[in-house]
Amino acid sequence: MTDREFALDVVRKLQQAGFTALWAGGCVRDELLGLVPADYDIATSARPEQLRPLFKRRNEIGASFGVVQVLGPRGDDGEWLTVEVATFRSDGTYTDGRRPDTIVFSSPEEDAKRRDFTINGMFFDPVSEKLTDFVGGRADLDAKILRAIGNPAERFTEDKLRILRAVRMATRFGLSIDIDTFNAARRMAGEIRVVSPERIAEEFRKLLAHPNRGRGVELFSEFELVEPILPELSAVGEAWERTVRAVHALGERSSFPLAFAALLHTLDRPTVENIADRLRLSNTEKTRIAFLVEKQEYLADAPRLRLSHLKTILVHPGIGELLALHRALALAGEKSLVGVEFCERTLREMPPEELNPPLVLTGEDLIALGLTPGPEFKRLLDAVRSAQLEGQATTKPQAIALVQSLRSAAPPASETPPA
């Protein structure tokens, strides 16, 4: 069973029980655009307590807001199918700029009016295949316009993240922005500071992973969101234009860490790590983004690098993204692509066993030679590995001879090396 089939079954079961039930929001928008929705949401006249006898397998994750997660069978991909079912409602005030303080169960029309943008405010009955549109979403979708429902300032006051979400929606669907919606968002941009870092980061992930991310970064600036979200970039001046060109130059396929590194490339590693911590990015994301920023020009002179240095970075897990960043920055600054192309050619032509050969000498070998594990181990092993990658110590006897040479040349531990 697919997500769509399960969502249709849930609607059919609710309607057979005498309730109004419709697909709602983003899934309706995506269906009209011919896209496959990531998930399906259902809006209904049934209240949470009325759902209990109909759906035995459920999670009442937001019952106080009229939201229940209905659990289904395993889907075609082996994962459990789920769909959120929410009672038609209207919202009270939003003290925290995220959730309503109170809700009132209401009608489909009132429910539509509380949503963010017209293209997300439509309903669809998958049984009768009838569209219900109280807010002009279909017309705006056809005209490729992003428009807040009702008063834009009120919609953004209810949830400040909607300001950044407007950037993502316009980016994802290639929409122009209604002037009243744009003006309200830009006027209120500073208020996004009250939104949790995790929610902002999630919007960034979706925005920067999209092929149209370059336009998204432009809108991010036009909405005046740079200073409240990434103040470290607010003083880059002319470098901002190069940053935008670099993000554009990444092409259609890019990961979030790569695109974020392109956005932050004018900063140093400690600053980038601070931003990652502030946005609560994962350690994996933080490490990769910081690596890319720190090494962004390391391979510019790749043909002249020592083989040991070149091979070491070419086998790094992030080399593909590093080369993509190199290329984008070179294109953005109209610089040479010689270093990037040299590395790409090396990766194509050099056999893996030459690029990253098995260690010729290990710590166990050093112990067998009578050495005691300690700080000296790393110095010796690093020196042997460098010589191996340079082609100077490719056999164990050669590596052992190098170790013995390095040890005889090192000053006694009690002596202080000359300054």
Q: Which residue ranges form the domains of the chain, and what is each CATH number?
A: 1-138 (3.30.460.10), 144-229 (1.10.110.30), 230-356 (no CATH), 363-409 (no CATH)
What's residue 416's pLDDT?
A: 42
Q: Which residues contact 143 (CB under 8 A, 6 or more apart)?
A: none
Instruction: Work out the widest C-alpha separation in the chain, in whole angstroms.
Output: 90
Residue 41, SS3 per DSSP: strand
Backbone angles phi, psi at 379, to 5 degrees: -60, -45
The confidence score (pLDDT) of residue 411 equals: 59
- Tell me the pLDDT of the chain (419 aa) as tens digits: 889 999 999 999 999 999 999 999 999 999 999 999 999 999 999 998 898 889 988 877 776 778 889 998 887 777 889 999 999 988 656 665 556 666 678 899 999 999 999 999 999 999 999 999 999 999 999 999 999 999 999 999 999 999 999 999 999 999 999 999 999 999 999 999 999 999 999 999 999 999 999 999 999 999 999 999 999 997 666 788 899 999 999 988 889 999 999 999 999 999 999 999 999 999 999 999 999 999 998 999 899 999 999 999 999 999 999 999 999 999 998 788 999 999 999 999 999 999 999 999 999 999 998 888 888 888 999 999 999 999 999 999 999 999 998 888 765 554 444 44
Which residues does residue 42 pair with via DSSP β-bridges, in sequence order? Answer: 23, 85
What order of strands is seen across the sheet that includes strand 58-62? 58-62, 67-74, 80-87, 41-44, 21-24, 123-125, 130-132
pLDDT of residue 98: 59
Residue 234 is predicted with a pLDDT of 78
Q: CA nearest 359: which of 382, 328, 335?
A: 382
Residue 24: what pLDDT?
Answer: 97
Q: What residues contact 50, with CB distance under 8 A and at least 6 apart?
A: 19
Which pLDDT score, from 0 to 100, does residue 94 have?
A: 60
CA distance 136 to 118: 6
How buried is residue 204: exposed, middle or buried, by Cβ count under 10 Å (0-12/13-18/19+)? buried
Return the bridge partners of 146, or none.
177
C-beta of residue 180 within 8 angstroms of C-beta of residue 152? yes
pLDDT of 414: 43
- Which pLDDT score is estimated for 215? 95
**CA-closest candidate to residue 302, choices 289, 311, 292:** 311
Q: Given this model, what pLDDT does residue 417 score?
A: 41
What does the alpha-carbon distance between residue 153 and residue 147 come to, in Å, rounded to a whole number? 12
Predicted model pTM: 0.86
SS3 state at 59: strand
